Structure formats: C-alpha cells, structure tokens
Structure 1
Amino acid sequence: MAGSGPGPSSSSSSSFCSNSLPLQRLPEPLLALLSDSLDRAPPGKGWRELAQVAGSQAGLRLRLSSQELEQCSLQVLEPEGSPSRSLLQLMGERGCTVLELTELLQALKHTEALQYLNPPSIKIVLEPESLTAVSGQTVKLSCWAAGYPLLHYQWFKGDKMVPHGNSPELIFNQVSVDDAGFYICRVNSDFSYGFSQWARLDVSEGCGACHGGKSVAVECSEEDLSCLGEPDLTEEQSTERQYAVDKVALLMGNMSYRNHPKLKAPLVDVYELTNLLRQLDFKVVSVLDLTEPEMRNAVNEFLLLLDKGVYGLLYYAGHGYENYGNSFMVPIDAPNPYRAANCLCVQNILRRMQEKQTGLNVFLLDMCRKRNEYDNTILVLDALKVTANIVFGYATCQGAEAFEIQQSGLSNGIFVKFLKERLLEDKKITVLLDGVAEDMGKCHLTKGKQALEIRSSLSEKRALTDPIQQTVTSAEALARNLQWAKAHELPESMCLQFNCGVQIQLGFAAEFSNVMIVYTRIIKKPPEITVCNAYVTDFPLDLDVDPKEANKGTPEETGSYLLSKDLPKHCLYTRICSLQKLKEDLTFTVYLHYEYDGVDEVVDERKVVNIGKPLIAKLRIHQGFGKNSCLQHCCVSSGPCFTQSSDAGPAVYHPSHPNHHPHSYAGFPQPNSAHPEGISHPATCHCDMTPNRLMAWQTTWPYSFSSNQGNMPVETTDEQESDFSGNFRLS
C-alpha cells in the first residue's frame, strides 16, 4: 500500500505561507486575523503606522495618498468593515509580499501579527501507541500536540476519516474486530499541520471462538468453572529452574554505510556482547557491515540454528527506523533515501522464529526508531502467534534516537554500555532489562533524550543464564552444531619453509565471524642472512583489505583495537574483513626479501598459500539461501593435508577441518617428507547428509557437542615459540 494515507508522508509541520507569496493570496482566515490584530493594536502599532512605515521603507510603490488613507478609515462605518483589511488589500494590489509585510511588522515590533504570519510549528508531544485488545474492552488511542493558535484533531483509519474522531483521544467504548487496523491522527491549525505516528490496533475475539465473523460461546462444565478461581497447581513449579534445548545468537553491527553517516559503536558493542554471550553458552555468530542480501542470508542461516525449545537472541546495531509499529534494520548498501524494500523487517524475522517453536525469543535493537518520512509503505503482516516467549529491548523509545559515547578512543552505544554490566546476572530477562533501563535513566548524558523501552509477552521465568539440557542428541541438534561450527573454523597455523632456510610462522585469529587477523613472523633464519623481511599480499579483490593498513607492527595500526592483548607479540598483522564476500578459497602470497652477509643484492622468494574458506565464508551467504547453504551441508575432507609442489612452482597449502595435524608442533604443521608431493583438493559437497548419517557422524566430528565445550570456537591458533626475533617491516 505504498503511498497511501490521509496526507503527505512527512510528519513535520508545514506553513501555508511563503515569503514570496503576494498578500492577496493569503488565506482569508489569516487576513482576518491580521486585520483584527492591526485594528485593535495600541497606539504606534496600528494600521496607520503600518501605512506610514510602508511608504517610507518600501518607497513610492507602497506609498498611499491621503485620499486612500481616508478611504481605509471610512471602513469603520461599515458593519463588517476593517481599515486594516482595506489597507492590506491596497498593499497586495501593489505587489506587496509576505516577506515585505513581515519586515514592516518587525519595524513596528508588532509581535502578535508576526505570530500569525509565522506560526510556531506543530509538535506532537504524545504519540499514539500500538495496542492489542480483546473484543468488548474499552480502548483509547491518544495524540496530544503543542502549537499556536487553536489546534484541531482528526483521526484516520488507513486513508479513511474516522467519524467523530476529532479530539485528541479516540475512544472505543466496546472495541470490535472490525475496529482493528492502522490509525493516524492529523493535527492542524489554520496555517500549519502535522501527522502523528501510525498506531496498530489488534483486536481478538476474547473468550469466544471466532466463527463467521461472530463470537461463539465456549461451553464449560461446572467443574471447569469451579477451577477458574482456584490457584494454579503448577504455580509452585513455575519457580523451578527453566532449561534451554540450546542457545544461539546472531549479532549484526553495521558501521561503514555507503550513502549515510558512518557509525563507530557497533564494532565494540558486537564484540563485547559476543564475549559475554559465549560465557552464557550461546552459540554466537557475529558479523559486521552487511549488505541487504547478506543480512537476509545471515538471518536465514541463523534460523537454521533454531529448533523447538532453543533460546534465540538477535542483536542489531546500526541505522534503523520504525514505521507503523514495524522496526526496520538498514543495511550498509541502502540507498538514500531508503524504504522498507531496502531493509529488513524485525517483526517478519520474529514470525519466522516462532515457526521454529523456540523456547525464548530476545530481540535487542540498538538503533534509532524515528519515523522514516520517505517511506509510507504499510506492511500487512499476519498476526504474531501467542507464544508468551517474546522479549523486545529497544535501545530508545519510539520516535527517538540512539546515542554513542566515546571512551579511551573507542565508542560504545549507551544501551550496551549499561547492558554489559548486567548481562551475566542470573535474573529473568525482563527483570534484567528493567535494571538496565533504570541505570540508563540515571545517565546525565542522555537523560530526556534516550530511554530503554521493553516490550514483553514472557509468561515464564526465562533467563539468559538458564542451563542447556539435552536428553537426547538428535539429528537436528547435530546439524545445528555443524552449521554453527562451520562459521567458526579457522585455518590451522603453519610454518612455511623457504629454500634459503628461513621459516615463517603464519597464524590466524577471529575478531568477528567475518573478520580475521593474519599474523606472521620469522621464527628461524640462517646466520649468513643479515637482513630478512617478509609480508603477505595479493588478497582476493572480494575482500576488504587495505594494503596501506596491512603488515603492520601492531594490531591497532590495522584497525583492530579489540584483540591486541590476545595476539602473540613481535609479529606483523593484517586485518581481513568481509569474509562473507569470499567466493573461492582464500589464497594469498607470502613474500620474503633477504640479503646475505657481504652481498648487496636483495633476493626474493614467495609462496602462495591457500587456506580454504575461513569462518563465515563457508556458509556462502553471498550466494543466497537455498543454493549452497544447507542444514545438511557436508563438506568433510578425508584429513588434513600439507602439500608442496615441485621446486618449479610455489608451495600451495590446503588446510582442512581443524583436526590436529599428525606432524605438528604446538599446533603448527611442519614440513615432513612423508607427505606426497602435489596438490590435494578438499572433497566436494553433495549435500546428501541425512539424519541417520548425521547421527553416525557424531563420533567423527572433531568438536565436542556438549553444552560446556561445543559453544566455544577457537579464536586464535596456537602460538609457537621462535628462536629468532626477526626484522619484519612493510616493504
């Protein structure tokens, strides 16, 4: 229903007056108000003084003769006559504009008349809120506005005017299912107008069952009626500990917008929440800077992790908006202006989560919720199921913005700044969020600007700290673990042996599910080599790798401020972003420059390294859901391989699953003559994994599926002690 509605898409107030508008084209009610104000003005501010100032400031064009002034004054003898109205008519006939009249009134300091020409904009101070009601209840939608002079209200349902809906409160004494729909209120004065936010009214049939549009009574026995007033016998059980079948989370942070202001806080917010949720045994997929199709495909992969009784949590930080009760997350490639078709609707994702019969659905939206005036699309979505397990934590109220705060050079969103202090508390999730809201309310930086809004239908004492309890390891659970583990597989660290005798350590660390750090250092150098430098380069164009920020001496120089304390020291670091865009195996080149003692000539060697598809690249979300992403997607190679070609060509490495290499030292593979020469390729995927095969495959999968260990991916590959602190620099 794009473009529909009772008025323009913008909710801002609008004046009917234009500075270049001739006076005779002003609305009659406004001319009447101006004339009355000038007629009863105190001495020095009346119509005669206006005529005098007009003649002196505007020149001959607006100078009135004594006969014309007398004609104006004689208007007092007429029943409806007005000297000021006659004067304004003469000035208008001579081309006087609203701007000129404004300047003349300013010279007279006639504030009342100036207010009529430039009325204050109408400001909606209380927006109507979406409501859910039962048929027969009394329901009230409220809209209050501030403005000048007298304000008039008119409610609309969709694009149709509501009869008798001309007051700030729209009251339904006995609401019915026919009253359900989207409502909006128009507020106007004589010269300007404004629209409220849309509010959605949902009405159910109450105790009766819906049949043919009417309510049908449900027959009850006396025994049924006698139980209505008695306490629930299971109430005592409600205080017992709840359990989750599994816990999974998708954390998305968008910062590097192409057509909109860039953000900083999502980097730190997503990283800190990832670490906290992993402590609570959540399987976490964390991604930064996704386009619209990438966001949709990431959500599809997230939905594959859900199942009956699973706790699902989705956190989003970035640009967003809320229209007509629906929240929209904005991808980094969204056009300017963007509309619903360019964004992801949160309520639609929730509906798909409900289809999985999840035990708990938590949405944490760290984004603005102002109305998008460029988008008048009303999404007509099916009503959500009454699952009593939904919790929304909005970082800010409807119609308001969300703020970032900088500390020590890094930024946090206000919401996460306070959320991270409480996230590990063993409390019902709604109680935990209430505490966050109270903490935010005490923050002087955003008091009155940003407040946490919590919406919940939770009927059980569910907490993020609830333990995971799986009585039977089902095929679905195994597939879920496989799907998650695929997004967290890092390449094994390796030792590269060059012909000159130099050995290079190559390691990897995950900053996010789509951001990886490659770190390199020289661990062995023959004594006859005096100068030795190495660096990595030639990364695929799909990836976001800035050559100017590669091979740096500190992680911070690459743009990675979060892993500094966890990475090995004395290395060169390169940050690789946007791994979700990787279409083929990740291949890059390690270059080695060195000099022998007494020889000025610089010698070069290079090796090409293939590390497969690391982290989220294995999910291939760039291709779209249903093509190469499958819950029963099995890509299992026969074993790890470390192969080297003949001397005529470069060494090519094809690491497989993160099994420990049979010939490794501290987790780093070493060259071994037992490995055959040539290039080994990973096994192809046929997507033919069945539930029975998954059950049988459990014993061969290298990860533990227990709730204690299966949720923690390897963040960095093992570090090998070196016997040489080599000289690494960017060449």
Structure 2
Amino acid sequence: MSELPDRSANINFLREPLLRKLCELLDKSRAKTGWRRLGELVGSDRRFRVSSDEMEMCSLKVLDLEGSPSRTLLRLMGERGCTMGNLLDYLQTLGNSEALQCLKPSALQILIQPQSVALISGHNLRLSCSAVGKPPVQYQWFKTKEEVPNSVSQDLIINTVQQKDAGFYICRVNCEDAFEFSQWAQVDVLNVSSYGQGCHFQEGQLKVVIQPQSQQLHVGESLQLECGALGRPIPRYQWHRNKVPIPNATKRKHMIPHVMQDHHGKYCCEIISSSSRERVWTNEAVVVIAPRISVQLAGAVECTEDDFYALGASPNEFLLNSIPEQLYATDKVALLIGNLSYQNHPQLKAPMVDVYDLTNLLHQLNFKVVSLLDLTESEMRNAVEEFLLLLHKGVYGLLYYAGHGYENYGNSFMVPVDAPNPYRSANCLCVQSILKLMQEKETGLNVFLLDMCRKRNVHDESTPNIILRVTANIVFGYATCQDAEAFELSSSGFTNGVFVKFLKKRLLDDEKITVLLDRVAEDMGQFDATKGKQALEIRSSLSERRALTDPVLPADTADLAQTHSRLWAKAHELPESMCLDFDCGAQIKLGFAAEFSNVLVIYTNIVKKPEDMSFCQAQVTDFSQDLDVDPKEMNRETPEETGIYLLSSSLPQHCLYTRLSSLQKLKEELVFTVCLEGTFTSMDDDPVHWTKSINIGKPLIARLDLYRGVRKNSCLQTCLMPHSPSHSPCHSPGPEHRLHLHHRQHQTQDCNRLSLQQHYLEPYEHLQGAVGGFGDCYIGSIGQVYDSPAGPASSSDRLSIPIEATDDINELQTVFINSLQLQHQ
C-alpha cells in the first residue's frame, strides 16, 4: 500500500483500493463502531454538519447493487473539509481498531510513479516505477489490461517506439501477499515524418512538432486538424477558431464529421505544459468551406462538380450567378445593457436574466460580449464609446437594451437608472445617435434589439435631427410595436421578459437575421397572454443574407484586430485565484468569477487548517465605498443568499460567497481584507483572528473607468444635433381610456392593490402591471411617462402615478367601481 496523505490532507484524496477496504469495514461493523455511529459523531460536529436527511440518504445506498453507506458518508465529509486527522480521531472515538489499522501505512510503498509522455515515433520510450518493501518487491507492467511481455523490472523500455505502442500503461508492484498498482501513464506517439519535421526530445521543453494544415473542403465533408508537442508529462491542448476557444476541443486531434459553411475560419491550438504551465501556440490553419455544386440540367440529369471537370469545364462557368456568396464578419461584438434598479422609476426584474441568457448564447456565436447592469447616464454613454472602439470595417455590431424607454418622432431613447422623473431626451441615450456612430465605422451589420416601451414621452418635445447614411446593413428588432408596451412575466423566481423568452429559442438558428426575427414574431403571436398587447416589430434595410452565425474572418489589418481584442479582454480580465497562507498554519483559497462584465463574485474556501483548530472560517471585508456593498449580503454560505442566482450552479461548493456589483463605479484599485477566524480546542473555543490585505487591481469593466464624466467623443455629441422641422408632428394619445398591461415589476407599499382581468392570464404566467394615466386608471408599462411635470407626485395627483398590479385578480373590478384613492409608490 502506498504512503497515505498526511493528517491535514482531505479524506477525498484517499486512493481507491484503500477507500474501498475502509468502506467494507465500516459497512459490516457492528452498530457502535460502524458507519451509522460515525455519522452521529460527525452530525454533532458543527464543522461538517451531516444532517438526518443526509444520513437517511446514506442508509438507502444499501438498496443499490453495489451501494455503500460508508462511501456516501465519507464523500459528504470530504466535501465539507474533513481531513485524515479528523477521520482518525473519529475512528479512535469509535474504537474501530480494524479501520484504524487499515489506515496505517504499509511496508509496501510506491516512491516513483510513471509519468505520461509525448514523444516522436522512432525514439526510445522509458517509463519508471520504483517501490520499497520487505522482502524485495516484484514488478509487472501492463498496457491497458494486457501484460507487456518481458517487463518485470522497475523500468519499462521500448526501443524505436511506433504508433502501435501508444496507449495507457500501469505497473503492478508485489510484495509477498500485498500488491499495489501505480498510477496510469499515457504514451502519445507523434508521427512527424509526414510533416517533413524531425526533432530530438529534450526533457522539460515544450516543443511543437506537428502543425495543423490549411484545408479546403465542401459542405458535409469531414474536417480533421492535428497538432502535437513533445512533453513529459503530456501537455494539454485547447483549439481556437478565429481566436475564440472551441468548447470541448481539448484533444490533440480536432475533428468535425460533417462541416457546414459556418465552420470556415482560422484554426490554431494553444498547448500548455502540465508541469511548468508554459504555453505555446501552433501556426494558424485556414479552413475554407465551399458549398457543394449540384445542378439540374435538361433531361433531369444531375451534374456534380466532378462531372463538370470530366467534361473539361469549370462549374463556375455554369453556376457563376447561382451560388450564393459566403458572407463573413471581420469580427462580432455585442453590448448588452440591462437596467433594473431605477432610482426614480419602477424597479424591473427580467433585464438581469435576459442579459445573462443572451450573453451565453452570443458567446456560442463567437461574439465578444460586454454585459452590464444598472448604468447611469454617463456610464451608459461611456460604455457605448468603449463599444464603438471595438468596431471597424466589416464588423457585426449588436446592441441589446432592456429597461425603461420611449420613442418620439421615430427616435428611440434608452433610460438610465439615474434619470429624473419626468425624464427627457437630454437624460437618455438616443439609439439612432449610436447607429450614426456605428455607420461611421463601416460596420458590416448593425443589429439593435430593444426590449423596452415605445410609448410617446409627452414631456419631451425635442426632435433630434440625426442624419443617417443610406446603408443596407441595419436591422431593428423592437420588442413591441410603436406606441405600445413590452412585458415581463411575473414569477416567484427569475424569468425572462416576453421578447427574450422567445428570442433565446431562435438566436442560434443559422438564418438570415430578419428571417430569425420573423420567426420570433410568429412565436410571440401565438402566446395568448400577450396576444393583442405586444407584437414584435422588425425594421430592416438589410439587402444580403447576413446571419449572426456567419463565420469570422479577421481583416488584413491584423494589428488593428488585435488591438480591439485587447480592449475587449481588458474589460473581462478576472483576477487569478490565489492561496493565502496564515501564520497559524491555515491555508485559504480565494477565487473569483464574473456574473456580468460589471459584477464580480468572490468566494473563500478552507484548503488546510491545523490539527488542533476546531473551527476555521475566512471572510472578505473592508471594500471600497464606491461599491456600496451591504455587509448583510456578504460572506454567505450559499450563492443565492448573496444575490448570485444565475451563476450559482457553476461555482464551487462549500465556500463563503460575496457578490460585488456596479464595478464600473470603482475609482481606485480594489483592495479588501481577508479575515481568518479560528478556534482551538486548547483555548476554550475563544476565537482568534488573522488578517491579510489583498489588492486585485481593477477587475473586469472597472479597468475602463466608466465612472468618469461624459467623454468628448461620446454619443451625447450626436444626440445634441439641431431640431428638424421635417419630422412627423407630435401624436398625442387618443381621448379614449384604454386598458394596458405593464412591462416590469416594482415594489408595493401598504395600499390598495390592482391586478389584471382573469381571462387575460388564467392559463399562463402572470404579467406584472402598474397603474397610471390621465384622469382615469390604466395599467402602464416600461418607460411610461407620467403626467407629473413638477417631479414626484403627492397624494393629490395620485391618478398620474404608477402603482403595483398584483396577482390578486378579483380586486380590479372593486377598485374601479369604488374609485379608491391610489397611494404613490
């Protein structure tokens, strides 16, 4: 048996043979010394907290064919930080001498494990395994399950290794009746002769010897890219297409059985040393995917491309005008803004979920995405300026906005979270102004997805004169029609707005963007909850079959593209995880994750603690006042307790979590304190504290200093253009009183509550509503403009103030009949 981990090591590091034997002993031991009594001891220890429900789950494992209650219990203990020292103490308390003896180191110990290696065909292979024991040990090597002939020494040597020798090897070490297996070692044999290369292996050096080759394929054919590097142990691989990592492409050979045209691009592989973390890159391989040529000629004879060449002619002579040209983007970038925490207007809910879902989908389409929540006016303008820096000729630019908004004279306005009540164009961002600036960049495609209200703002009589260029590359997807509201669905949890609910089901389709939006509109039209109240409107000047799935082929100006990529990476740079060693002997892991481009998650975990420390916990504190962090929502035991709902499933378990939002407000480098609290059995559980100051610089979007005042080249300069008399005249709401639905949710106070008529919503998710209007009550929407020119209304002008509409359906009729007074929210 190999040497055990030390007492401070986690019990999850127990090797399988030892763990299996220990579980067998605990499973069959009598009640006072078995797994159930062990669970009772652990359950009474606040450090590991095994509950009665978890003990019941362990006991049910006996119903499985090879189930083990002990294995399940030990796994739970290990996940909560139980060490070998803790387990030995528990077994000593139980008096289980067999289990204790099982955990004592044996005289048979493997000192040197064989290492995986990548080497060139024709070179010599040596794998080594060394063990000590009394009497002397014996060795036997295996390749997978088969014994390697004549391999009974501690070194396995194969002269002139060939491709057939590649595979997995393991060594069995015998000492009388005891035996132990080494760890597996992989041997990767690189055949470089076909690439015209030769190289001598140098221990410890990472060297690429196989480069991926450029290829030209037809749709439906198989793509195989191969690279290879020497290394001991075998290096790790990550394939990239157009500088973007390909998910799950982590093998030396990257294969696509049936290529499509959107697989066109430049491929390269990042190779990482498993020991020194050295990184090297292969050359780029250009993969061109051409459509298959097949034409129906007279007499119903189908001619393929090979048939044309057999006739001595090029198929292009026949099909020059019939084959659609493959369209490309030189880059794809997206700015996603979700405003929900308004200072002077109803609070919203769905924008956070909408932005999160669209971010993940756009990443799959190879977009560079900046996703931001809750921006003030200056922050929005500066974010747009940074977005514009990523644009250049041929780029696909996409802007998604969810929040309050309005539309006047054909111009759409996005409302920042600090906009006054009432707001006007000077307080908001004009979408058409942003489009004008995008056109100046000669972008290949401009897509605007606006998830906001388009009601007219009666407080804003300005008519910006924004002169746009005539281009055939503009697409607007409005979540609702002109002079109408957009909605979000009411739910006890987090959910999407109506627009994104259907958009996210279609966004990855390989369709022209206008066709994709048409299908979203059809889906929305079948949703009874909003039928007749919200309909997607599409405006487009697109004359080509541009799609969000189009491949990316960087422009010839490689330096410019790299500069823009660095700008994007600058806004998404996470601090590296770190281990902190404290004087008491404890070690803490400090990790980071990004929920949005301006939302950072910090988590702490106990990696190691002294044997005599009965309790240990690490918390983060003392954050910059710019971030306005609520201490009550920091250092929580579950992500959800601190507001991390969307990222919680991908975070490590059994940590303390803290969520830092609004990083764009951070003016200085982020410095905070990690406070370690511990108690020792010899000190009557009096807590002792240690602290470390941590500086992680400016993480994520904080590096762009969006908090600064509006910059010289921002979209504000475009918004402030002279008024034009050529715009459509003001269109005021009709005199009739209309009943509308509300887009977003905001908080209620103690007042009379309103809700929607039951026949609108019975079989569906409820829609949140609000009340406002001109003399009579109606249920308003996102971006609703309220008749209160003097600012926030008092109870005397209550009928022009929005108020919550709840799911209490039966109250609506009573409110209208009794003309109850409405209280300002």
Query: Higher mean Cα deviation, 481-490 or 592-601?
Result: 592-601
Answer yes or no: is the 8 Å Cα contact 1:244–1:466 preserved in 2.
yes
User: How far 1:238 sits from its partner (Å)?
Assistant: 7.2
Distance 2:359 2:321 in 1: 35
The residue number in structure 1 matching 2:459 is 374
Q: In structure 2, what is the equivalent of residue 597 of structure 1?
A: 681
1:262 aligned to which of 322, 347, 357: 347
| Residue equivalent to 2:364 | 279
Say if 2:385 and 2:713, in contact at 8 Å, map to a contact too. no
- Name 2:486's counterpart in structure 1: 402
C-alpha distance in 2 between matches for 1:575 and 1:282: 26
Aligned to 2:193: none
Q: What is the identity, as a one-letter code, of the residue corresponding to 1:276?
A: L
Q: 1:552 aligns with which of 636, 656, 669?
A: 636
Aligned to 1:329: 414
Whether 1:363 aligns to 2:448 is yes
What letter corresponds to residue 259 of structure 1 in structure 2? N
Aligned mates of 1:369, 1:478 — CA distance in 2: 38
Distance 1:242 1:566 in 2: 36
**How much has 1:307 moved relative to structure 2?**
0.2
How big is each residue's C-alpha offset from its partner over 1:166-195, in whole Å with a ceiling of 9 and x where there is no partner?
xxxxxxxxxxxxxxxxxxxxxxxxxxxxxx
Once residues 607 and 405 of structure 1 are traced to their aligned partners in structure 2, the CA distance between those partners, rounded to angstroms, is 45
Counterpart in the other structure of 2:16: none
Distance in structure 1 (CA, Å) of the matches to 2:319 and 2:629: 58
Alpha-carbon offset, residue 560 of structure 1: 1.2
Quick one: which of 699, 711, 718 aligns to 1:614? 699
**1:628 shift after superposition:** 13
Give the superposition deviation at 1:475: 2.0
* Distance 1:554-1:235 versus aligned 2 partners, 3 A rule: farther
Letter in 2 for 1:465: T
User: d(CA) in 1 for partners of 2:628 and 2:348?
Assistant: 18
Distance 2:550 2:472 in 1: 17
- The residue number in structure 2 matching 1:690 is none
Q: Which residue of 1 aligns with 2:333?
A: 248
Q: Percent sequence identity over matched residues?
A: 70
- C-alpha displacement of 1:329: 0.0
Tell me what 1:450 maps to. 534
CA contact (8 A) 1:292 1:343 kept: yes
Q: Note the C-alpha offset of 1:240.
A: 2.3
Query: What do residues 426-458 of structure 1 show as CA deviations (whole Å, max 9, x unaligned)?
Result: 000000000000000000010000000000000
- CA displacement at 1:588 relative to structure 2: 0.6
**Residues 133-144 of structure 1 aligned to structure 2 (within 5 Å):** none
Alignment CA distance shift 1:350-1:554 (3 Å): same
SS across alignment from 1:476: helix
Q: For residue 260 of structure 1, report the CA deviation from its aligned partner.
A: 0.1
Q: Quote the Cα distance in structure 2 between the aligned partners of 1:598 and 1:499.
A: 17
After superposing the two structures, state which structure 1 stretch, 333-342 or 539-548, moved more.
539-548
Among 346, 353, 358, the alignment partner of 2:431 is: 346
Residue number in structure 2 paired with 1:523: 607
Residues 554 and 561 of structure 2 are in contact (CA less than 8 Å); yes or no, is this contact kept in structure 1? no
Q: Structure 1 residues 375 and 471, CA, compared in 2 at 3 Å: closer, same or farther?
A: closer
Equivalent residues of 1:620, 1:628 under 8 A apart: no
Choose which of 547, 554, 557 in structure 2 pairs with 1:463: 547
Other-structure match for 1:499? 583
Alignment of 1:148-547 (within 5 A): 236=321, 239-382=324-467, 384-407=468-491, 409-470=493-554, 472-547=556-631
Q: Rate the CA distance shift 1:450–1:613 in 2: closer, same or farther, 3 A.
A: same
SS at match of 2:347: coil
CA distance in 2, matches of 1:544, 1:240: 53
Give the secondary-structure state (helix, strand or coil) at the position aligned to 2:626: coil
Amino acid at match of 1:385: R
Aligned to 1:570: 654
Contact preservation (8 Å) 1:397, 1:452: yes
SS for the counterpart of 2:627 is coil
The residue type paired with residue 529 of structure 2 is L
Structure 1 residue identity aligned to 2:481: C
The one-character-per-residue Cα deviations of 1:640-670 (angstroms, maximum 9, x if unpaired) are xxxxxxxxxxxxxxxxxxxxxxxxxxxxxxx
Task: Report the TM-score when normalising by structure 1.
Answer: 0.53
Q: Any idea what SS the aligned residue of 2:600 has?
A: strand
SS of 2:539's equivalent in the other structure is: strand
SS at 1:551 equivalent: coil
Corresponding letter in the other structure for 1:321: Y
**Structure 2 Cα separation of the partners of residues 581 and 256 of structure 1:** 15
What do residues 102-147 of structure 1 show as CA deviations (whole Å, max 9, x unaligned)? Answer: xxxxxxxxxxxxxxxxxxxxxxxxxxxxxxxxxxxxxxxxxxxxxx
Output the CA distance in 1 between the equivalents of 2:511 and 2:713: 40
1:198-243, CA deviations, whole angstroms, 9 ceiling, x for partnerless residues?
xxxxxxxxxxxxxxxxxxxxxxxxxxxxxxxxxxx99936722210
2: distance between equivalents of 1:327 and 1:573? Answer: 39
Asked if structure 1 preserves the Cα contact closer than 8 Å seen for 2:398 and 2:447, the reply is yes
Q: 1-side partners of 2:423 and 2:320: how far apart?
A: 48
**Are the aligned partners of 1:300 and 1:625 in contact in 2 as well (CA < 8 Å)?**
no
Q: Deviations over 1:57-101 (max 9, x none)?
A: xxxxxxxxxxxxxxxxxxxxxxxxxxxxxxxxxxxxxxxxxxxxx
Between the aligned partners of 1:265 and 1:472, the Cα distance in structure 2 is 41
Instruction: Give how far 1:533 is off.
Output: 2.2
Larger Rg: 1
CA deviation after TM superposition for structure 1 residue 472, in Å: 2.8
Query: Which structure 2 residue ranges, 5 or more long, are not aligned?
Result: 1-317, 715-825
In 2: Cα distance, 1:608 partner to 1:238 partner: 63
Partner of 2:691, secondary structure, is: strand
TM-score, normalization by structure 2: 0.47
Q: Which residue number in structure 2 is paired with residue 26 of structure 1?
A: none
Q: Distance in 2 between matches of 1:411 and 1:234?
A: 49
State the one-letter code of the partner of 2:630: D
Checking the alignment, whether the CA contact within 8 Å between 1:558 and 1:575 is kept in structure 2 is: yes
CA RMSD of aligned residues (A): 1.8
For the 8 Å contact 1:238–1:460, the answer to whether it is kept is no
State the alpha-carbon separation in 1 of the partners of residues 499 and 448 from structure 2: 13
Deviations 1:610-659 (A, max 9, x none): 00000001111112465999xxxxxxxxxxxxxxxxxxxxxxxxxxxxxx
1:35-78 Cα offsets, whole Å, 9 max, x none, are xxxxxxxxxxxxxxxxxxxxxxxxxxxxxxxxxxxxxxxxxxxx
Task: State the aligned residue count.
Answer: 396
Query: 1:365–1:579: structure 2 CA closer, same or farther, 3 Å change rule?
Result: same
Measured against aligned partners, the alpha-carbon deviations of 1:572-603 in whole angstroms (never above 9, x if no partner) come to 10000000011100011111111221213321
* Partner SS, residue 683 of structure 2: coil
Contact 1:288 1:514 (8 Å CA) reproduced: yes
Report the AA paired with residue 410 of structure 2. Answer: G
Pairing 1:712-723 to 2, within 5 Å after superposition: none
Describe the shift of the 1:551–1:342 C-alpha distance in structure 2 as closer, same or farther (beyond 3 A).
Answer: same
Which residue of structure 1 lines up, in the alignment, with residue 38 of structure 2? Answer: none
